[in-house]
Amino acid sequence: MKTVYDFTVKDMQGKEISLSDYQGKVLLIVNTATGCGFTPHYEPLEDMYRTMRDKGFEVLDFPCNQFANQAPGSDEEIHEFCTVKFGTEFPRFAKIDVNGETADPLFVFLAAQKPFEGFGKGLKNAALNKFADMNNKAFGDKAYIKWNFTKFLIDWEGNVMARFEPTEDMETVKKAVAAAL
């Protein structure tokens, strides 16, 4: 059976990195953006990383500009923004696409393992759903990820355990990571 360890990704310098390098760790794989309403998620992500990395936890950050042009900078500019504004230390990779014909195979796999089930209830979630649907029309059935800061929890063996939409409370995500560890 295929796992995330079967994929390679590019670091910010364009070097191929095998995700098998993270074998035996619990991972939270996230598509991010620096100009999104969910950008403050960097704070709890970094907090989780700092408090749980010694237990075998990694956050893997994949910037993406496919959602309302909210990550327009270069890889270096994005990295500088995240490290200066949020003090992030977790691994950040090259900017990728997560939807459409150019979608990174890792995110196609992740979304196939845990498909989108909705943003949840409430006015804010309904508004995001409408905006995401408009944004993702261009991708049709290849709109695998609906918005920035979608998170995938990966177990010790490289299997996709859970998907968290950006509207999910970060405390819920933290509890799931702690339970996986």
Active site residues: 36
Name residue, tokens 């992500």: 45
Task: Give the C-alpha separation, 59 to 30, whole Å.
Answer: 7
Name residue, tokens 């196609």: 108
Give the DSSP H/E element, type plus range, for residue 26. Answer: strand 26-32
User: How many residues in total does the chain contain?
Assistant: 181
Query: Residue 9: left if φ>0, alpha if ψ -120 to 50, beta else—which one?
Result: beta
CB 56 within 8 A of CB 44: no
Task: Give the C-alpha separation, 101 to 156, whole Å.
Answer: 30
